[in-house]
A = this chain, B = another copy of it.
């Protein structure tokens, strides 16, 4: 069990007459990601509410801010009790046995045009053993062909672009890996959160994007950009791709500044401090 404490602060300057926000900055509640305590603070005295989407479990904070500065603070203490399994023992779930709510994750989406990549993915990955190793192979293929370079992609950049351009950030690596998985009928989804242990060379702690693939009845974590330690991921949202899980969707003109985020490891109830590390087992925090 790993206990993490995270804090984030978002600052906006809202133009008159004010505007609506939808945030996805609450740690998800899953069977293996337990939110021990959390606190939301708003600098404006406006009503807000947090809804949980029944299909994804994502928790959406909604509020209507009035003009002026808005600061949104969120802190949480989260226990991660990972499901772990040996990769070689994890087979893919045949299409015929995929649960209905999982089906959507083999279809293409805004940034993951898996329909375009069928031939390429079949040529590269079609003959491999159908299990965790194949997904890891897709992940490695993306990592080898893509340079991690900030400010080379933007909100329009899709898996096709990243395949062609060979460059991007964590979001782009995730989109390309997802598209390739779907192209060989492996359900894959986009996950966002905060991670403990990111490469400090990449700058201050920021939101992270990674991948979950559905294998053997469960969603397993993959980190295609290779910049972080999967065991240290606190999940906020999952979706078809980045279109579904922006940390902030803003319905009007605002100025924003870079989020300020901290994350640290706390000792558990038994006083032991368990740190995230690059373990060999496959990890899941879902179900």
Contacts and interface: CB of A to CB of B under 8 A. Distances in A.
Interface residues of A, number: 46
B119 A147 contact: yes
Copy number in the complex reads 4
A62 interface: yes
A183 to B, nearest CB: 11
Contact of A109 (B94, B109, B155): B109
A103 B60 contact: yes
Given A20-B95, A55-B55, A100-B53, A120 B145 contact: yes
Contacts of A277: none
Interface string A145-188: 10100000011100010011111000000000000000001000
B109 A156 contact: no
A112 B110 CA distance: 7
B54 A115 contact: no
B100 A244 contact: no
A119 B162 CA distance: 11
A182 to B, nearest CB: 10
Contacts of A145: 120, 123
A192 interface: no
Contacts of A64: 96
A22 interface: yes
Contacts of A240: 109, 240
